[in-house]
C-alpha cells in the first residue's frame, strides 16, 4: 500500500535555515545540510528546501546547499524558490535535487512547465500554488505571496496537470505561519480536481492538522515546517500519531 | 573492481551517482560515462533512466554503438547489469509511453500505463510503497519482505515470463517492481532514494 508522506520543509535564505511567520519576522534555525540529515535519519519521507529570497539575492548559495545535502541524504529532495527557467531546473537537478518546484515562473510562462516536464520528466516537476481566499474562490499569488495574479486556483491546478506537473504543492496563504491548520476546503477541492498527487502546505500547528490534511484534505503528502523545526515534534512522533489514527505511513 | 553508471544524457542521474559513491567508498571505483570502451572493460554496469520510455530509448540510440555495447556486456558476456526505473523498463521489447517504442528486448514483455481505475489511483505513483518479495534475488540479500521503497512512475513493466519477477508492489494491481534474469537486475523503485534500505540493495549489487 502506498504510504502518505511527511515532508519537513526548510526555508533557506543565504544558505541558512529560517522559517517565516506569514513570510516576515524570520528566525535563524541552523544549517540546512545538518537539518536535512537529522530529518532524513529521523524518517522524513522527503526533504523540501524553499529558497525564500532566491529571486533577489545570493542566488548561488542554494546550489551549494543542495549539492552537499544530496551527498548526505538518500531520500528525495525537492527544491524550490526563485526557479525561473528550464536552465535553473537543470542546474538544481545536476546539483542533486530530485524534484524542483516552480511557482511564479509557472504562472508567468506556461512553457516552463511544459518544456521542463518534457525534458526531465513529470516526476521531477512540482508546481507550487500559493492560494489565497477571495470570496468563494481562491486566487493564485506569485512572488512569494506578494502579487495577486487573479487566476482561479482550481482551474490553474487543472491546467498545471495538463501542462505536465507531476505533483502540486498547495499552500494556503491565509494559513501559512498561523499554526491553525491547513485550509482543508482548498486542499480537498484541488485534490478532487486533479489526478496527480497533492502536497498540503501552510498552517500546521499540531499533529491533528497533519491527520486532517490527509483524511479531510485528501492530500497524498503533508508538508510542515515549524512544528518539526523548533523541536515541538519529531518526525517519528508525527508518524506514530498518524499511524494511530489509521493513516498508512512508512515506519 | 569498477562499476560504470551509464551517462547517456537522459534525465537526472546525480542521485544515482551520489548513492553508489556513498556505498562504494574507496573500495570500488564508480565511473560515470558513455565511453564505450570504459563500459566494455567495467565489471558491472548501472543503467539509470528518467523521463519517458521514448526519451530514454532515443537518448541511448543517439550515442553511436551504445546499445550494441550494452548488448555485448549484458547478453553476450553476461556481466552484471542493473536497470533503475526507466532503465529497467527498457529491458522490455516495447514501450507505449508517448508512442510505441522498441526497447532493448532483453526481457520479453511490454511497458504500459498503470491502470488508474478511472481516477481512483493518482498517477504518477509517487512515494513510499512496500515491496512483496516473490523470489530470492541476489540484490535482496538481508532485505526484509515488505520493506519500503521510493517509487515515481506512471508506467509498469509487464514481463511475459513471470519467473523473472523478484518483487511486486501493490498499487491499483500487483505492479512488477523488481526483476532478475540471470545477470540482469532491475528495480522500478529508486534504491538511490530509498534511504538506508535502498543503499543496502546498491551494496548487494556492488558485492555480487
Q: Which residue does chain B place closest to A249, by CA atoms?
A: B128
Q: Which pairing describes strands B2-6 and B44-47: parallel, antiparallel, or unpaired? A: parallel
CB A74 to CB B192 under 8 A?
Answer: yes
Chain A positions with Cβ closer than 8 Å to B: 1-5, 40, 45, 70-71, 74-76, 93-98, 118-124, 166-167, 195-197, 220-221, 250
Q: What pLDDT, on the 0 to 100 scale, is given for residue A50? A: 92
Domain interval for residue A116: 5-244
Which phi and psi angles does A160 have, rounded to 5°? -65, -35
Q: What is the DSSP string of chain B?
A: -EEEEE--S-S--HHHHHHHHHHHTTTSEEEEE--HHHHHH-SEEEE---S-HHHHHHHHHHSTTHHHHHHIIIIIS---EEEETHHHHTTSSEE-SSS-EE---SS-EEEEE---TTTTS-SSEEEEEEEEE-S--GGGTTPPTT-EEEEEESEEEEESSGGGEEEEEEESEEEEEEEEETTEEEESS-GGGSHHHHHHHHHHHHT-
C-alpha grid cell, residue A46: 522527503
**DSSP reduced 3-state for A160:** helix
Q: What is the pTM of this model?
A: 0.94
Nearest CA in chain A to B129: A2
Number of domains forming the structure of chain A? 1
Query: Among this protein's residues, is A130 annotated catalytic?
Result: yes
In a domain, A143, yes or no: yes
Taking contacts as CB-CB distances below 8 angstroms, the residues of chain B near A120 are 11-12, 50-51
Q: Look up the domain containing B36 and give its range.
A: 2-206
A135 vs A30, higher pLDDT: A135
Active site residue B153: no
Q: Is B19 on the interface with A (CB under 8 A)?
A: yes
Q: ipTM value of the model?
A: 0.93
pLDDT at A20 over 50: no
Q: Is residue B192 annotated as a catalytic residue, yes or no?
A: yes
> Which of A1, A2, A169, A200 has the highest number of chain B CBs within 10 A, making it the mutation to test binding with B?
A2
The CA-atom distances, in angstroms, between A173 and each of A134, A144, A148 are 11, 10, 11
pLDDT at A23 over 50: no
Indicate whether A43 belongs to any domain. yes
Report the CATH number that the domain containing residue B126 is assigned in CATH: 3.40.50.880
The reply to whether A142 falls in a domain is yes
- pLDDT(A57) > 70: no
Nearest CA of chain B to the CA of A31: how many Å? 21
- What pLDDT does residue A232 have? 81
- Give the model confidence (pLDDT) of B75-124 as tens digits: 999 999 999 999 999 999 999 998 999 999 999 999 999 999 998 999 99
| Structural domains in chain B (count) | 1
A-B Cβ pairs (cutoff 8 Å, strict)? 98
CB B153 within 8 A of CB B133: no
Tens-place pLDDT, residues A150-195: 999 999 999 999 999 999 999 999 999 899 999 999 999 999 999 9
Residue A50 is assigned to a structural domain of this protein: yes
Whether residue A24 has pLDDT greater than 50:
no
Residue A250 lies in a domain: no
Residue A55 confidence (pLDDT): 53
Whether B11 sits inside 8 A of A220 (CB atoms) is no
Instruction: Give the C-alpha separation, A159 to A149, whole Å.
Output: 15
* Domain assignment of residue A167, yes or no: yes
Nearest residue of chain B to residue A94 (CA atoms) = B14
pLDDT > 90 fraction of chain A, expressed in percent and rounded = 77
B128 touches chain A (CB under 8 A): yes
pLDDT over 80 at A59, yes or no: no
> Is residue A113 predicted with pLDDT exceeding 70?
yes
Question: What integer pLDDT is reported at residue A56 of this predicted model?
Answer: 58
| pLDDT at position A48 | 97
Is A96's CB within 8 Å of B126's CB? no
Any idea which of A27-31, A233-237, B191-195 has the lowest mean pLDDT? A27-31
Q: What dihedral do alpha carbons B31, B34, B35, B38 form, nearest 10°?
A: 40
Contact B15 A196 (CB under 8 A): no
φ, ψ of residue B147 in degrees (nearest 5):
-65, 150
What CATH number has the domain bearing residue A117?
A: 3.20.20.70
Q: Is residue A249 situated within a structural domain?
A: no
Residues of chain B with pLDDT below 70 are none
Classify residue A119: in a domain, yes or no: yes
Return all residues near B35 (Cβ < 8 A) that are at least 6 apart.
none
Amino acid at each position: 500500500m502506498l504510504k502518505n508522506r511527511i515532508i519537513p520543509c526548510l526555508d533557506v535564505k543565504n544558505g541558512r535555515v529560517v522559517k517565516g511567520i506569514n513570510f516576515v519576522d524570520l528566525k535563524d534555525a541552523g544549517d540546512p545540510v545538518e537539518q536535512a540529515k537529522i530529518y532524513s535519519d529521523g524518517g522524513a519521507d522527503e526533504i523540501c528546501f524553499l529558497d525564500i529570497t532566491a529571486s533577489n539575492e545570493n542566488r548561488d548559495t542554494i546550489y551549494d546547499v543542495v549539492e552537499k545535502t544530496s551527498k548526505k541524504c538518500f531520500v528525495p529532495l525537492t527544491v524550490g524558490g526563485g526557479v525561473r527557467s528550464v536552465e535553473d531546473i537543470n542546474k538544481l537537478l545536476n546539483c542533486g535535487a530530485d524534484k524542483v518546484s516552480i511557482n511564479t515562473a509557472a504562472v508567468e510562462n506556461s512553457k516552463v512547465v511544459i518544456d521542463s516536464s518534457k525534458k526531465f520528466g513529470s516526476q521531477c516537476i512540482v508546481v507550487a500554488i500559493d492560494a489565497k481566499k477571495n470570496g468563494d474562490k481562491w486566487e493564485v499569488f506569485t512572488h512569494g505571496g506578494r502579487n495577486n495574479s487573479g487566476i482561479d486556483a482550481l482551474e490553474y491546478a487543472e491546467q498545471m496537470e495538463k501542462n505536465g506537473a507531476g505533483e502540486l504543492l498547495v499552500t494556503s496563504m491565509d494559513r501559512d505561519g498561523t499554526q491553525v491548520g491547513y485550509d482543508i476546503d482548498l486542499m480537498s477541492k484541488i485534490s478532487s480536481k486533479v489526478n496527480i498527487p497533492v502536497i498540503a502546505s501552510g498552517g500546521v500547528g499540531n499533529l491533528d492538522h497533519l491527520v486532517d490534511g490527509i483524511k479531510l484534505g485528501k492530500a497524498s503528502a503533508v508538508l510542515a515546517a515549524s512544528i518539526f523545526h523548533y523541536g515541538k515534534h519529531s518526525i517519528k512522533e508525527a508518524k506514530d500519531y498518524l499511524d494511530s489514527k489509521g493513516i498508512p505511513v512508512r515506519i | 573492481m569498477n562499476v560504470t553508471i551509464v551517462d547517456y544524457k537522459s534525465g537526472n542521474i546525480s542521485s544515482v551517482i551520489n548513492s553508489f559513491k556513498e556505498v562504494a567508498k574507496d573500495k570500488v571505483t564508480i565511473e560515470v560515462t558513455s565511453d564505450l570502451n570504459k563500459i566494455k572493460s567495467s565489471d558491472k554496469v548501472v543503467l539509470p533512466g528518467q523521463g519517458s520510455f521514448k526519451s530514454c530509448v532515443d537518448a541511448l540510440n543517439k550515442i553511436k554503438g551504445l546499445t550494441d555495447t550494452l548488448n555485448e556486456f549484458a547478453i553476450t558476456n553476461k556481466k552484471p547489469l542493473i536497470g533503475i526505473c526507466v532503465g529497467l523498463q527498457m529491458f522490455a521489447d516495447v514501450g507505449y509511453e508517448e508512442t510505441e517504442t522498441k526497447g532493448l528486448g532483453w526481457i520479453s514483455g511490454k511497458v504500459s500505463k498503470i491502470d488508474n481505475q478511472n481516477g481512483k489511483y493518482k498517477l504518477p505513483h509517487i512515494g513510499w510503497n512496500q515491496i512483496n518479495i516473490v523470489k530470492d534475488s541476489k540484490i535482496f540479500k538481508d532485505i526484509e519482505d515488505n520493506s519500503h521503497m521510493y517509487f515515481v512512475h506512471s508506467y509498469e513493466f509487464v514481463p511475459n515470463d513471470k519467473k523473472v519477477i523478484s518483487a511486486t508492489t501493490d498499487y491499483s494491481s500487483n505492479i512488477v517492481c523488481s526483476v532478475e534474469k540471470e545477470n540482469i537486475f532491475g528495480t522500478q523503485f529508486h534504491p538511490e532514494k530509498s534511504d538506508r534500505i535502498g543503499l543496502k540493495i546498491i551494496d548487494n549489487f556492488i558485492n555480487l
